[in-house]
Structure 1
Amino acid sequence: MAAREGSLVAAVLEHSGRLDKEHLGARVGRLSRRVEELKGEVCTMINKKYVDFLPSMRGAEELVTHVEGLANNIDQLKAHIENEVQQDLNVAGAEFTELKQQLEKDTLVLSVLKKLQEFDTALKEFHSALLEEQYVTAAQQLEKARSSLRLLESRKGFELKILKALGKELIVQTQNIIYHLWQEWQKLVVWKLPPSKGSSSLEAVVLSELHLHTVPAQDLDSAVPPVQPVLQALAVLGELHYKLKDFGHFLLQYILKPLILHPSLEPVSEEQPDVFILRFRSQELALDEASPMEVFEKIQLVFEVLQKYLLNVPLEQPGEGRVILAELLGELIWEELSDCLIHNCLVKSIPTNSSKLEQYKEVITSTEEFEKALKKMQFLKEDTTALLKYACNVNSHFANKKCQDVIMAARNLMTSEIHNTVKITPDSRVTLPELPDPGSGDHLKMQRASELPSGVVNLGSESRLSPLTLSLPTCRISSSVQQLVELAYHTLLEATASTDLCCLQLFNCVRDIFQLFCEVVPTYHRENLQKLPQLAAIHHNNCMYIAHHLLTLGHQFRYSSAGVLSSVAVTFVDLVPAFRRLGVECFLAQMRVQKGEILERLSSARNFSNMDDEENYRAANKAIKQVLHQLRRLGMVWQDVLPVNVYCKAMGTLLSTALAEIVTRIVALEDISAEDADRLYSLCRTMVEEGPQVFTPLLEEDKNKKYQEEVPVYVQNWMTFKELMIILQANLQEIVDQWADGKGPLAKEFSAAEVKSLIRALFQNTERRAAALAKIK
């Protein structure tokens, strides 16, 4: 067949002079038909090998020879025709162009056939290299076959069925070599993991081990392949990233993170003739938290041994050039590792006291050395400084951590029980930090400092204010609120010893505490504040106590600081109205509840009418007893809690409410018999005798006895009620005398209409009553 093609081309080339285009055309046509025949034979062979999988290697080799010979002949014929066309272009331009196009088409077909030949050759060499465990060569040949297939797929008009078959074969062989490479990798890198995978407990992670069979073998006949060809082959195939990602995940989960999270763990390395082993050892006596220096040392030790036995392998990355394995691993796991180091190591090492900030320089130095060591191993790039940046920004982190701790402590205090109380007295001293001396050189500061509540202000004369001026009266507050104010003082004292930025941050943190109180406490304790009178009273005192300290809190530290607090508007005075309003609104809401209960009980007294009916009298008497019981019960829970004057005002208001309701109902009666009057007087006397008992001072309040003795001062309707009792027992003349032409005590408490109404209800219609009514004007 080859001889036949050779003679055809020789005949064309031997023709001289003017070309016979018909003779040349006939021969080109014969050549094209032979190309088509050869195309068919090649396609049949490819189909048999990659589609039908028939053993036809010998025929394939003959076809390869035919393709190469025919390609050479066509190249000679093409060059000859081009020369003839140039010599006789004016004669047969169109005909020769057509012949050239036909030859170009044939050339295109032959190039496709040549790529099929390259694909087949690459796969043969791939199989041969894989059998000899030459993984890099095998991977390169597989990629060469893949490149040939891509070119074939870019040719239009080729048989799709063949390309699909070739693609499937390429996928199968790719998975084949990947499987072999991963098998070799598992021989090289062996993880001995705890039985309960994923467990992060100390008992579980201490069982983790990493075995590296990458130690240079003393026995040259060792079956363990070197690690470099395996990794390089994976890199050629584009699979190294996935395998390295899995390795990095295991390294983080079972080696690096446990060393960070468990201070008692320390890495132990062991080198044997054919394997290197990395495992853990647990120290029995270990601190709860390891210092960053200790953690860095352990992590660095792990990377040093990995660098020696695995990570220093050089690789050729497609498109990236030459790198070592440590660089690739660093890109995959450094972000997660650095986050873990920051949040579980550096964050915990941030001082909670500004006096310890100076000691933190040791941590900064250690962090810098740790990053330098990792960069030397090429695990980190030169511009990577995440850990160092975090460590160097210690002042900001200190402020953030301090603020978080303060806010959390404050919130815990706000959500604790209100009823745990402590007693505050004017001469008691809360445990607050000693403020620094504002300095004797500044007269203004000294003067203002002397005006604080703890001192006695000189008025410029012999007169002096009482030491108790601006002091809180005796009352009970929640111990949690006392601790909250102490926390605010200590935080501001910490601020005065910090940098300006930290100082302002801590100052704003204290403001946040008090603003948070206004939001959290009324919401968190809403139900108890509405239902329990004692808690409402304690909350009232709490708010007043905080407001009292807020009046001077900012100024105390402003004049005690030489830093930024002394030059800015450091004040909490603007928060005072909100706290006072918060305490007052809560207590007034409780007062409204108590007033409602008093009026509800008195509503069962049947309007105090027809007291000569025994049932009506019992109902009225029961209502009076219930009101007095309610007042006594409130007295028990409020008297030792509220300041004396607030307590007296509150109880006086409630008692006055009860008296006013009784007066209104009696005045409204149209007919009061003598027996009714006696019984009404008896009920009123019970109120007058037992009502003031709620003002009886406690034993320790004897010095405040004057408050309780002045009942009419706090009970607005007390004298009105007393006048009503007089009317119920008086005759007409006595009532007229009490009126005294509108100038007597009766006229101060009742209107003329009310007095006339009572006279008409109490006395029969006689001339004497008419005369008395006439005098009531």
Structure 2
Amino acid sequence: MSDYNIDELIKTVFDIRDANWKPTDKIPLINKEIEQLKSDLKTYLNNSDYDVTGILKESKELCEESKRLTEDMRTCQQEIEEETMAEIVKSIENHDALVKELECINFAINIVFDVVQCGKYVKEFDDGRDAQSFTRAVEAVSDLIEFIENPADGFQHLGLYHNTKHAAQLILDSLLNDLSTEWSRLAHWSSKMCTKKTVVTIVLNLDDSMAVIDILSALNKSKKLQEKINLFSEFLMKEVLVPIMLFDCTVYAETDVLMTLTINHAKQNCKPPYDAVIANLRLLFHYLSNKLNIEFCRGNTLMAMIGKQISAEFKETLIKEVLIDTIPNNINELQTYGRITAEIEDFQHFLALVKIFPEDKFSILDYIDDIDILFASKSSQYHLETARNIMLKDLSVTMSIGVETIPEDDELSISNLMDDGAEEALKILDKTIPKSLFFFPRCMISKTAQELLDLVYVMMEQAVQCSDLVCKRLYYTTRLVFELYDAVVPYHHEKYLQTIPHYVALFHNNCMYLAHNLQTFGDKWLILMEGREVDYAISFVDLVQKLRDLGYKHMTAHMQQQRKQILDNIRSSDLNCIVVKDVLGENAEAAIRQCLRQLHLLRNVWIGVFPNNVFTRLMATLVNMFVDELIHRVCTVEDISAEMAQQLSDMYTLVMYKAPHLFQDAGDVQKHVKTWVKLQELIFVLGGSLKDIESHWGEGQGPLARHFRTDELRNLIKALFQNTQLRANLLAKIK
């Protein structure tokens, strides 16, 4: 039957455009349509493949059968509720009783099982003991203790449990004690310290016999072997390996089982050479390998266990204390360093062979990866130590250096080889830079100063041949040498620099000489590095003034000390109390003579040591101070007797006679001592008359007017001459 379109029916029956329809009008139409539909349905059912009548009949039968089954189920439910449930409740009660009975049986079975198992372990222990097998005995007792630690419920309440546990622990302790005794028999060592040496003895009775392997396996099973190996490894590292690396040692295999190590303490801080260390280590490890390469458990050996324990520390110590020292401190030896690395590599293969090193894990040649850094550090350390040793040497061992006179400029033939611009530039340079910059005056210096300078030149020559990293490090080390000079020399030679003029003079010259060379040292360095790019400034000019100031500082301090001695001599004599005396005592002349002797000693010490101009300047400074103090003693006195004036004149005349001999040229005293003429005029005033003084005053134009202040001269006249009209007239003229 085709689909029925209800929408079309509604549109046919009910016209939506007709608003005045009545239900009575539509009922016939609807009835007609219903009848038509019934006819269509009947026709459809008749033509259908399904037996509708049969289906309805079958459905009725199924419905009736369902009702019967429902009644049967209700009947069955009633029977279950009344009879079966009672039986089920009774069965549950029986089940609970059976479960409780089963639990009791299991509880008893578990306890019996634990008892039987303990008996089994005890029997295994007895069998192992009868077979004299430590391994079987230890295994049995260990298993018993392990088993008894987790007993079945109730077993721990039995007396058997406590007795078995206590007995098992006692047996294990006894076994461990026996094993410890056996181990001590197999391996023992000692160290005996004497006055000049220490003797270390190692005795190893180990071999691959069944008895030894049984002992090792038993120790391993009881977890005590690692403790024994740890103790031996610690002893081996601290008492044997480290001393071999640090001290002069003799390793000797007395027998197959006895090895002795003799550590000599006669030479302190004297490490043995690397090849001697390697030779001793080879002997030691060869002996240990022969005795300890015993396989006792799944490929494991005592040597491998020791290697695992000490390999990291041994490698680190070997590199730090031995192999690092093999790195050379100069470029020539560094270029042949491959021979040493080959020996070290061969030694590493030996260590892997004897199982001290895992073959694929450790390498004692790792330090070569940083060879430049290590070489730079080693070279720097060596040169600093060398420089410091030079600085500690005696300063009084001298040598002469410098030129007598600075050469005059000459045009040289080089001007013919240059163009006009270059020649003009050289002329300007010659006029701008003083010639003394390139020449050092003739003087004496300590040989140590020249040794130090030679050392830094060697450092420079090595640095420019090395990689940039090493070159930079050596450059800074070279600068550090001069920083070290500032710190070490004044401190180490402090006593001499404070008391001995010769030392002070040499130290001053040393500082000046080093500073002079540092002015051009940086340029020489750069010339040798031509063509290489550097990322740091190479210059030593900043150290020049620092070294000069160091020399000035000690020279000035010593000059102050000499000045103080001269002033103390004068001020401790009657020259310090002229105003209260009519006649000077003998100590006044003695003080002057003492000052002259002091200056004469300085002259003998300094002449030829200092450059001529420096000697003259220093001596003139002291003489000028001495003379100025003598003049001041007189010019500040209010009254001088005629006898004292004569004494002063005689003593000051002595100074006039002696002082010129303090200089290389007698004429230098007048050129460089500012108060010299003033002293001459003072002597003249002390022995002259008022008329003579007036003539020397010369209406303010004479020598007295040039060298004396007005107040000084007036005070001197008042002190020397009585108050007369002639004196008053002269004083009136001196204004």
Same fold (TM over 0.5): yes
Give the distance between the partners of 2:433 and 2:542, measured in 1 at CA. Answer: 26
Match of 2:674, SS?
Answer: coil
Aligned-pair distance for 1:123? 4.7
Give the letter aligned to residue 234 of structure 1. Answer: L
Match of 2:727, SS?
Answer: helix
Tell me, yes or no, if the aligned pair for 1:737 and 1:744 is still in contact at 8 Å: yes
Matches within 5 A, 1:265-414: 296=278, 299=281, 303=285, 306-307=288-289, 310-315=292-297, 323-375=300-352, 378-414=355-391
Q: More displaced, 590-599 or 306-315? A: 306-315
Give the distance between the partners of 1:505 and 1:460, measured in 2 at CA. Answer: 37
Larger-Rg structure:
2
2:657 is the counterpart of 1:689: yes
Give the distance between the partners of 2:622 and 2:104, measured in 1 at CA. Answer: 113
2:230 is the counterpart of 1:245: yes
Match of 1:570, SS?
Answer: coil
Tell me, yes or no, if the aligned pair for 2:685 and 2:693 is still in contact at 8 Å: yes
Give the distance between the partners of 2:104 and 2:674, measured in 1 at CA. Answer: 119
Give the distance between the partners of 2:158 and 2:563, measured in 1 at CA. Answer: 95
Match of 2:528, SS?
Answer: coil
Give the letter aligned to residue 478 of structure 1. Answer: S
Match of 1:328, SS?
Answer: helix
Give the distance between the partners of 1:547 and 1:565, measured in 2 at CA. Answer: 27
Give the equivalent residue in structure 1 for 2:618: 650
Match of 2:585, SS?
Answer: helix
Aligned-pair distance for 1:734? 2.9
Give the equivalent residue in structure 2 for 1:718: 676
Matches within 5 A, 1:88-237: 88=89, 118=117, 121-123=120-122, 125-151=124-150, 169-189=167-187, 197-198=192-193, 204=199, 210-214=203-207, 225-237=210-222
2:640 is the counterpart of 1:672: yes
Give the letter aligned to residue 766 of structure 1. Answer: T
Flag the 1:290–1:661 CA change in 2: closer, same or farther, 3 A.
closer
Tell me, yes or no, if the aligned pair for 1:375 and 1:382 is still in contact at 8 Å: yes
The structure 2 residue matched to 1:533, chosen from 494, 501, 505, is 501
Give the equivalent residue in structure 1 for 2:71: none
Give the equivalent residue in structure 2 for 1:45: none
Tell me, yes or no, if the aligned pair for 2:352 and 2:359 is still in contact at 8 Å: yes
Tell me, yes or no, if the aligned pair for 2:243 and 2:249 is still in contact at 8 Å: no
Give the letter aligned to residue 541 of structure 1. Answer: N
Aligned-pair distance for 1:110? 8.0
2:727 is the counterpart of 1:769: yes
Q: Percent identity?
A: 27
Tell me, yes or no, if the aligned pair for 1:354 and 1:494 is still in contact at 8 Å: yes
Tell me, yes or no, if the aligned pair for 1:635 and 1:694 is still in contact at 8 Å: yes
Tell me, yes or no, if the aligned pair for 2:208 and 2:294 is still in contact at 8 Å: no
Give the distance between the partners of 2:718 and 2:261, measured in 1 at CA. Answer: 103
Give the equivalent residue in structure 2 for 1:420: 397
Aligned-pair distance for 1:733? 3.1
Match of 2:400, SS?
Answer: strand
Cα RMSD after superposing both structures? 4.5
Aligned-pair distance for 1:126? 2.9
Flag the 1:734–1:294 CA change in 2: closer, same or farther, 3 A.
closer
Tell me, yes or no, if the aligned pair for 2:645 and 2:686 is still in contact at 8 Å: yes
Flag the 1:492–1:114 CA change in 2: closer, same or farther, 3 A.
farther
Give the letter aligned to residue 399 of structure 2. Answer: V
Q: Flag structure 1 segments of 5+ consecutive residues without an equivalent.
A: 1-83, 217-224, 283-287, 317-321, 429-442, 451-456, 698-704
Q: Deviations 1:529-578 (Å, cap 9, x if unpaired)?
A: 22222222222122112211211122212111247586641111111121
Give the distance between the partners of 2:127 and 2:704, measured in 1 at CA. Answer: 127
Tell me, yes or no, if the aligned pair for 1:269 and 1:278 is still in contact at 8 Å: yes
Give the equivalent residue in structure 2 for 1:732: 690
Give the equivalent residue in structure 1 for 2:550: 582
Aligned-pair distance for 1:150? 3.6
Tell me, yes or no, if the aligned pair for 1:656 and 1:717 is still in contact at 8 Å: yes
Q: More displaced, 298-307 or 720-729? A: 298-307
Q: Deviations 1:497-554 (Å, cap 9, x if unpaired)?
A: 2222112112221111111111122222223322222222222122112211211122
Match of 2:192, SS?
Answer: coil
2:679 is the counterpart of 1:745: no
Tell me, yes or no, if the aligned pair for 1:190 and 1:211 is still in contact at 8 Å: yes
Tell me, yes or no, if the aligned pair for 1:414 and 1:517 is still in contact at 8 Å: yes
Aligned-pair distance for 1:330? 0.7
Q: More displaced, 370-379 or 99-108? A: 99-108
Give the distance between the partners of 1:511 and 1:764, measured in 2 at CA. Answer: 70
Give the distance between the partners of 2:648 and 2:235, measured in 1 at CA. Answer: 91
Give the distance between the partners of 2:575 and 2:131, measured in 1 at CA. Answer: 114
Match of 1:476, SS?
Answer: strand
Give the equivalent residue in structure 1 for 2:3: none
Tell me, yes or no, if the aligned pair for 2:637 and 2:719 is still in contact at 8 Å: yes
Give the letter aligned to residue 504 of structure 1. Answer: K
Match of 2:510, SS?
Answer: helix
Q: Deviations 1:121-149 (Å, cap 9, x if unpaired)?
A: 53553354234222222222232233235
Tell me, yes or no, if the aligned pair for 1:500 and 1:563 is still in contact at 8 Å: no
Give the distance between the partners of 2:284 and 2:518, measured in 1 at CA. Answer: 55
Aligned-pair distance for 1:352? 3.0
Give the distance between the partners of 1:89 and 1:768, measured in 2 at CA. Answer: 167
The structure 1 residue matched to 2:477, chosen from 509, 517, 542, is 509
Give the equivalent residue in structure 1 for 2:413: none
Give the distance between the partners of 2:602 and 2:292, measured in 1 at CA. Answer: 80
Match of 1:654, SS?
Answer: helix
Matches within 5 A, 1:442-481: 459=427, 470-481=438-449
Give the distance between the partners of 1:461 and 1:198, measured in 2 at CA. Answer: 73
Give the letter aligned to residue 137 of structure 1. Answer: R
Tell me, yes or no, if the aligned pair for 2:579 and 2:638 is still in contact at 8 Å: no
Flag the 1:757–1:462 CA change in 2: closer, same or farther, 3 A.
closer
Matches within 5 A, 1:690-705: 690-695=658-663, 697=664, 705=665
Tell me, yes or no, if the aligned pair for 2:197 and 2:262 is still in contact at 8 Å: no
Aligned-pair distance for 1:586? 1.0
Give the distance between the partners of 1:523 and 1:202, measured in 2 at CA. Answer: 37
Give the letter aligned to residue 173 of structure 1. Answer: I
Q: Flag structure 2 segments of 5+ consecutive residues without an equivalent.
A: 1-84, 264-269, 406-416
Give the distance between the partners of 1:513 and 1:108, measured in 2 at CA. Answer: 89
Tell me, yes or no, if the aligned pair for 1:364 and 1:392 is still in contact at 8 Å: no
Give the equivalent residue in structure 2 for 1:7: none
Give the letter aligned to residue 192 of structure 2. Answer: K
Match of 1:477, SS?
Answer: strand
Give the letter aligned to residue 323 of structure 2. Answer: L
TM superposition score normalised by structure 1: 0.70
Give the equivalent residue in structure 2 for 1:760: 718
Give the equivalent residue in structure 2 for 1:38: none
Q: Deviations 1:323-355 (Å, cap 9, x if unpaired)?
A: 443331111222343345334542343223211
Give the distance between the partners of 2:359 and 2:619, measured in 1 at CA. Answer: 76
Give the equivalent residue in structure 2 for 1:635: 603
Give the letter aligned to residue 645 of structure 1. Answer: N
Give the distance between the partners of 2:286 and 2:513, measured in 1 at CA. Answer: 61
Tell me, yes or no, if the aligned pair for 2:303 and 2:355 is still in contact at 8 Å: yes
Give the distance between the partners of 1:112 and 1:594, measured in 2 at CA. Answer: 108
Tell me, yes or no, if the aligned pair for 1:550 and 1:575 is still in contact at 8 Å: yes
Tell me, yes or no, if the aligned pair for 2:107 and 2:153 is still in contact at 8 Å: no
Give the equivalent residue in structure 2 for 1:437: none
Flag the 1:91–1:500 CA change in 2: closer, same or farther, 3 A.
same
Give the distance between the partners of 1:613 and 1:758, measured in 2 at CA. Answer: 16
Give the distance between the partners of 2:675 and 2:153, measured in 1 at CA. Answer: 109
TM superposition score normalised by structure 2: 0.74
Give the distance between the partners of 2:710 and 2:521, measured in 1 at CA. Answer: 56
Give the distance between the partners of 1:749 and 1:277, measured in 2 at CA. Answer: 98
